[in-house]
């Protein structure tokens, strides 16, 4: 077990190292001079040359890469070009905000989609199955920006029940979280529900379930004790992937509702070519992706005894 | 004649007053020039009233606000380190609540006293004496005075500060040889303040000594990077957000870049009653719809700007008020005259000959503004001369193209930023208008920040230009050979001679006549297609009283509040 964990963590570190080099090189060769980005389009050639010298940009590429990596490892993420404050001052608050949004979405979406998926998969082809599948597909097909507009039209402008933006200006406000969570749940629940349904339907056709039913166990016991655990193996991986998506892929929702999250920060940084923020965001996103995948791998071995620590 | 206290009245004031009485200059230009020359706004309006019979005071605002309340405004909250290097109006709006300017130019284009209670210009407009207001205190308890103003001029005109004010006060600056050579062996020049250009006369009087005449000095003192900081600003770290020392009506309470900026009313403010208890700027990002959603759902009381595509929505929501300002804000599709194929004037003129400016305005900006005339002087500029209207002429365009060797068609690519949607709309319309002449235009739309990397390098680019109260200010900045912002690489000695002649003419009617030549040369040289002059919009809740949109979108909230 310890060897397995050590190996997974070593793979994780190696993946991050390779990706850090890719992120660094991509941004290093992005169009335009970093000095112009920092000093603005009206700066003189002389000012730019001095800035590049002072900030070590005349050093060889690999020296700068290790400087940057060293800074990153020790917690020095550089200074934002746009906001003129250390990246650390912005990044972690934004990540925490996205974490709150992701957690709220999870708390609603996972029980809902698992319940609907199990209900649909219990009796494949039934009216119940088809209704849930159709509703899930319809909602998943609607892009987030469209459902954001639709829900705003209903709940903000039509009924006047909810606020139009979710900036949390005066601290955490649950009401401001409702619309972004609704949009994310609508967009994602169908996907997880369908994965659960497919897995459940497959389990329901296995011999041991048929045996359990034939030996007279109550249907509820068959489902809860025998079918459910096996049916959750496939959705578990999907759910772990959703964590990754919720932390770095909810740009549209954050932008639309002016939610001060990680995705919106990454978008703004990209548009402003705020290179240190982009680098930090990219590395955080890589870390989240790699660590959720590692967690999924570990969790999978527990859920499925047929997979060994090898 | 009314006088500005005991100050001497400039000799041109009686002259322009006579011109106004005879109808040779309009009311707007009389008010502007008289106040710039030191006549108080009240006196200038009274002089207008004697001629037109109208009330001598400017129109009263819709309602007198009640005391109290916190106003929430949706606007980007940006870094605000050094006011002298501000490059966005939003930064100045944050700072404007805590620091102040020497003058203030209102929405009526009239410049009034602010930290300077009056000023005088010498007859030749080369010496300006600023009389500073007494009894003004910084919020750290220090007295405001001449040392503060002198220090601000010194740092603006020091190239190390990196302030655009160095171009604004070019009459106080000289070029010096740095002793270095560039890669072509030419001497590298630098600017510095002329010795004695600013002098402290006494504790509350400062004199500016210019080497060339300048009428717009009081207007320039309200340009957004000219807010006055404390004389020890640099010693205190040179960062306003960390040391928010100001003379303004509010004090900084909370500053979270990219999120919110909060100020509260300052006790003992010198400028009389301030209605609001505080202001909160909330950053809702770059999405105009988020701003409007926040306003409609009552999360904010006003928004910094409403996009042209949203004005119908605002007008339909009962509890909102749309505010519109006519401006000299524009964009130019400029062609670099030293780059192929634009080095051939016939190509540039062919492009220009295809353009229906009225249609561009109607389609790209819903007709809310004024038609562009390809010479970068706006109808609202006081020196504007109305040239004959331009009309599309495809036969002329085809002939010019054929003569230039492009009879078989011409492919062009224009670079533009994506930040303002109307830019792309205008260029789409232009593409359609160029097509019948055989010109195929490709639009290269890039992120705003990427465009600012190439704005002065690309052969064909669409650049936005902000409002300036005088047309010649932009012409001096952008169309003189060798100036940093000459993005079209335009160079025409005849144009510069005509511009010098017009700039040096104080007589308004005379200057207008001279501008005919300036505008005609620029239009004929065809270095730009200027689609339109745009109006700008903002919106407030009906509860907000005393607010009007400024052409430069400045937020002066000293007399803004909530209706009783």
- Which tokens belong to A231? 């049916």
* Dist. CA B138–CA B248, nearest whole Å: 8
Instruction: Point out the domain boundary residue: B247, B272, B302.
Output: B247
HSE-up of residue A230 (Cα within 13 Å, Cβ side): 16
Classify residue B287: in a domain, yes or no. Answer: no
Classify residue B281: in a domain, yes or no. Answer: no
Residue of B nearest to A145 (CA): B289
Answer yes or no: do A258 and B285 touch at CB < 8 A.
yes
Answer yes or no: do B296 and A164 touch at CB < 8 A.
yes
Q: Are residues B39 and B118 in the same domain?
A: no
* Dist. CA B31–CA B111, nearest whole Å: 9
Answer yes or no: do B450 and A32 touch at CB < 8 A.
yes
* Dist. CA B94–CA B105, nearest whole Å: 18
* Dist. CA B7–CA B452, nearest whole Å: 46
Average pLDDT, chain A: 84
Helix (H, G, I), strand (E, B) or coil at B419: coil
Longest dimension (CA), chain A: 87
pLDDT value at residue A296: 80
Q: How close does chain A come to B257, measured CA to CA in Å?
A: 6
Q: What are the pLDDT digits (tens) for A32-88?
A: 667 776 776 666 666 677 777 777 777 788 888 888 888 888 888 888 888 888 899
Answer yes or no: do A255 and B282 touch at CB < 8 A.
no
Q: Are residues B382 and B472 in the same domain?
A: yes
- Cβ atoms of B281 and B77 within 8 Å: the answer is yes
* Dist. CA B535–CA A143, nearest whole Å: 34
| Residues 477-496 (B) with a CB less than 8 A from some CB of A | 484-485
Q: Which helix (H) or strand (E) holds A30?
A: none
Most A CBs within 10 Å: which of B289, B320, B486, as the mutation test of the A interface? B289
Q: What are the pLDDT digits (tens) for A220-232?
A: 888 888 888 788 8
HEC letters along B237-284: CCCCCCCCCCCCCEEEEEEECCCEEEEEECCCCCCCCCCCCEEEEECC
Q: Are residues B335 and B203 in the same domain?
A: no
Chains A & B: contacts with CB separation below 8 Å = 102
Mean pLDDT of A128-145: 89
Answer yes or no: do A273 and B450 touch at CB < 8 A.
yes
Residue stretches of chain B with pLDDT short of 50:
1-5, 60-61
Q: Is the CB of residue B175 less than 8 Å away from at least one CB of chain A?
A: no
Query: The domain A88-272 is classified under which CATH number: 3.40.50.1010, 1.10.357.10, 1.10.3720.10, 3.90.1530.10?
Result: 1.10.3720.10
Domain spans in chain A, listed from the N-terminal domain onward: 2-74, 88-272
Q: Which helix (H) or strand (E) holds B435?
A: none
* Dist. CA A25–CA A16, nearest whole Å: 14
What is the sign, positive or negative, of the torsion defined by CA atoms of A41, A42, A43, A46?
Answer: positive
Q: Is the CB of residue B283 less than 8 Å away from at least one CB of chain A?
A: yes
- Cβ atoms of B96 and B252 within 8 Å: the answer is no
Residue A3: other Cβ atoms inside 10 A:
9
pLDDT value at residue B287: 83
- Cβ atoms of B10 and B44 within 8 Å: the answer is no
Classify residue B376: in a domain, yes or no. Answer: yes
Could you tell me if residue B376 is left (phi over 0), alpha (psi between -120 and 50 degrees) or otherwise beta? left
Classify residue B561: in a domain, yes or no. Answer: no
Q: How close does chain A come to B388, measured CA to CA in Å?
A: 36
Q: Are residues B153 and B17 in the same domain?
A: no
| Residues 135-174 (B) with a CB less than 8 A from some CB of A | 162, 164
Q: Is the CB of residue B338 less than 8 Å away from at least one CB of chain A?
A: no
pLDDT value at residue B1: 38
Please give the full DSSP string across B45-103, using - where no structure is assigned.
HHHHHHHH---SSPPPPS-PEES--EEEEE------S-GGG--SHHHHHHHHTTSB-SE
* Dist. CA B428–CA B435, nearest whole Å: 11
Question: Which ipTM score applies to this complex?
Answer: 0.79
pLDDT value at residue B210: 93
CB contacts of B296 in chain A (<8 Å) are 156-157, 164
Q: What are the pLDDT digits (tens) for B144-155?
A: 999 999 999 999
Classify residue B66: in a domain, yes or no. Answer: no
CB contacts of B188 in chain A (<8 Å) are 46
Instruction: Point out the domain boundary residue: B247, B266, B288.
Output: B247
Helix (H, G, I), strand (E, B) or coil at A259: coil
How many domains would you assign to chain B?
3
pLDDT value at residue A68: 83
B215: CATH: 3.90.76.10
Q: Are residues B187 and B336 in the same domain?
A: no
Per-residue pLDDT band at A213 (split at 50, 70, 90): confident
Per-residue pLDDT band at A308 (split at 50, 70, 90): low
DSSP, res A241: H
Residue owning tokens 């007279």: A216
Residue B413, CA distances (Å) to B284, B394, B416, B452 in order = 34, 20, 10, 17
Q: How close does chain B come to A96, measured CA to CA in Å?
A: 15
Q: What are the pLDDT digits (tens) for A175-190?
A: 999 999 999 999 888 8
pLDDT value at residue A160: 87
B444: CATH: 3.10.105.10
Mean pLDDT of A118-136: 87
Residue A28 has pLDDT above 70, yes or no: yes
Sheet of B544-545, strand order: B65-66, B561-563, B544-545
Answer yes or no: do A41 and B260 touch at CB < 8 A.
no
Mean pLDDT of A14-33: 80
Q: Are residues B375 and B510 in the same domain?
A: yes
Q: Are residues B371 and B478 in the same domain?
A: yes
The boundaries of the domain holding residue B23 are 2-52
CB contacts of B280 in chain A (<8 Å) are 169
Q: Is the CB of residue B254 less than 8 Å away from at least one CB of chain A?
A: no
Most B CBs within 10 Å: which of A31, A32, A41, A151, as the mutation test of the B interface? A41
Residue B398: other Cβ atoms inside 10 A:
19
Q: Is the CB of residue B468 less than 8 Å away from at least one CB of chain A?
A: no
Instruction: Point out the domain boundary residue: B247, B268, B290.
Output: B247
Most B CBs within 10 Å: which of A90, A164, A251, as the mutation test of the B interface? A164
CB contacts of A160 in chain B (<8 Å) are 297
Q: Is the CB of residue B14 less than 8 Å away from at least one CB of chain A?
A: no
pLDDT value at residue A299: 76
Classify residue B290: in a domain, yes or no. Answer: no
pLDDT value at residue B100: 97
Residue of B nearest to A31 (CA): B450
- Cβ atoms of A281 and A227 within 8 Å: the answer is no
Mean pLDDT of A188-212: 87
Residue A293 has pLDDT above 60, yes or no: yes
Most A CBs within 10 Å: which of B77, B86, B168, B258, as the mutation test of the A interface? B258
How far, in whole angstroms, is CA B351 from its chain's centroid? Answer: 28
Residue A258, CA distances (Å) to A255, B77, B166 in order = 5, 13, 37
Write the CB contacts of B36 (distance below 8 Å, at least 6 apart in sequence). Answer: B111, B121, B215, B216, B217, B218, B219
């Amino acid at each position: 077990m310890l060897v397995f964990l050590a190996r997974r963590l070593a793979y994780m570190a190696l993946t991050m190292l390779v990706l850090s080099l890719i992120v660094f090189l991509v941004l290093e060769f992005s169009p335009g001079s970093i000095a112009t980005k920092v000093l603005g389009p009206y700066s003189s050639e002389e000012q730019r040359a001095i800035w590049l010298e002072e900030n070590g940009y005349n050093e060889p590429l690999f020296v700068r890469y290790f400087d940057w990596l060293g800074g990153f490892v020790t917690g020095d993420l550089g200074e934002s070009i746009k906001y003129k404050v250390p990246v650390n001052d912005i990044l972690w608050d934004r990540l925490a905000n996205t974490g709150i949004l992701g957690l709220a979405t999870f708390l609603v979406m996972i029980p809902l989609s698992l319940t609907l998926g199990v209900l649909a998969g219990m009796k494949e082809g039934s009216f119940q199955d088809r209704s849930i599948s159709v509703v899930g597909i319809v909602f998943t097909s609607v892009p987030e920006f469209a459902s954001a507009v639709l829900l705003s039209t209903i709940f903000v402008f039509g009924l006047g029940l909810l606020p139009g933006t979710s900036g949390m200006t005066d601290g955490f406000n649950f009401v401001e979280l409702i619309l972004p969570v609704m949009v994310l749940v609508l967009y994602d629940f169908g996907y997880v529900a369908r994965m659960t349904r497919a897995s459940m339907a497959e389990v329901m056709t296995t011999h041991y379930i048929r045996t359990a039913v034939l030996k007279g166990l109550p249907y509820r016991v068959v489902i809860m004790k025998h079918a459910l655990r096996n049916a959750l193996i496939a959705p578990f991986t999907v759910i772990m992937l959703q964590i990754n998506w919720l932390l770095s892929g909810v740009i549209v929702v954050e932008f639309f509702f002016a939610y001060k999250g990680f995705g919106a920060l990454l978008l703004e940084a990209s548009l402003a070519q705020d290179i240190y923020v982009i680098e930090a965001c990219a590395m955080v996103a890589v870390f989240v992706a790699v660590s959720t995948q590692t967690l999924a791998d570990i969790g999978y071995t527990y859920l499925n005894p047929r997979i060994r620590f090898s | 004649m009314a006088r500005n206290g005991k100050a001497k009245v400039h000799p041109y004031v009686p002259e322009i007053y006579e011109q106004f009485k005879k109808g040779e200059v309009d009311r707007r230009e009389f008010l502007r020039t008289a106040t710039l020359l030191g006549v108080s706004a009240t006196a200038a309006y009274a002089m207008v009233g004697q001629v037109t019979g109208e009330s001598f005071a400017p129109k009263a605002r819709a309602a007198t606000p009640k005391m109290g309340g916190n106003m929430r405004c949706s606007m980007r909250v940006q870094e605000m380190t050094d006011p002298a290097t501000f490059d966005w109006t939003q930064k100045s709006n944050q700072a404007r609540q805590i620091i102040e300017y020497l003058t203030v130019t209102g929405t009526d284009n009239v410049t009034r006293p602010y930290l300077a209670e009056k000023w005088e210009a010498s007859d030749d407009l080369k010496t300006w004496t600023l009389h500073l207001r007494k009894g003004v205190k910084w919020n750290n308890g220090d007295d405001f005075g001449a040392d503060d103003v002198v220090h601000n001029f010194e740092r603006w005109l020091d190239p190390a500060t990196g302030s655009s004010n160095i171009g604004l006060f070019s009459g106080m600056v000289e070029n010096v040889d740095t002793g270095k050579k560039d890669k072509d062996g030419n001497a590298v020049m630098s600017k510095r303040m002329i010795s004695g250009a600013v002098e402290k006369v006494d504790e509350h009087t400062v004199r500016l000594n210019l080497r060339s005449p300048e009428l717009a000095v009081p207007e320039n003192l309200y340009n957004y990077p000219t807010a006055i900081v404390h004389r020890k600003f640099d010693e205190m770290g040179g960062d306003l957000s960390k040391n928010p020392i100001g003379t303004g009506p509010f004090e900084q309470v909370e500053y979270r870049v990219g999120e919110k900026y909060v100020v509260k009313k300052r006790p003992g403010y010198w400028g009389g009653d301030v209605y609001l208890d505080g202001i909160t700027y909330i950053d809702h990002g770059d999405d105009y719809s988020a701003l409007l959603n926040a306003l409609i759902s009552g999360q904010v009381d006003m928004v910094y700007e409403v996009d042209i595509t949203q004005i119908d929505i605002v007008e339909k929501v009962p509890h909102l008020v749309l505010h519109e300002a006519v401006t000299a804000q524009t964009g130019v599709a400029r062609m670099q005259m030293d780059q192929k194929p634009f080095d051939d004037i016939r190509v540039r003129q062919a492009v220009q000959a295809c353009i229906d400016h009225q249609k561009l305005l109607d389609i790209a900006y819903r007709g809310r503004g004024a038609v562009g005339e390809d010479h970068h002087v706006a109808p609202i500029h006081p020196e504007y001369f109305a040239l004959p209207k331009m009309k599309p002429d495809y036969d002329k365009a085809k002939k010019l193209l054929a003569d230039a060797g492009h009879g078989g068609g011409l492919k062009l690519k224009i670079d533009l930023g994506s930040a303002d949607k109307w830019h792309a709309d205008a260029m789409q319309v232009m593409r359609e208008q160029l097509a019948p002449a055989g010109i195929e235009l490709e639009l290269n739309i890039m992120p705003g920040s990427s465009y600012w990397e190439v704005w002065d390098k690309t052969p064909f680019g669409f650049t936005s230009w902000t409002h300036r109260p005088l047309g010649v200010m932009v012409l001096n900045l952008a169309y003189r050979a060798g100036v940093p912002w000459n993005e079209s690489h335009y160079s025409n000695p005849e144009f510069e001679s005509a511009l010098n002649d017009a700039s040096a003419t104080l007589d308004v009617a005379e200057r207008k006549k001279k501008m005919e030549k300036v505008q005609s040369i620029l239009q004929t040289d065809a270095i730009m297609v200027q689609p339109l002059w745009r109006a700008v919009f903002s919106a407030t809740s009906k509860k907000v009283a005393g607010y009007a949109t400024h052409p430069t979108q400045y937020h002066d909230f000293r007399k803004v509040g909530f209706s009783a």
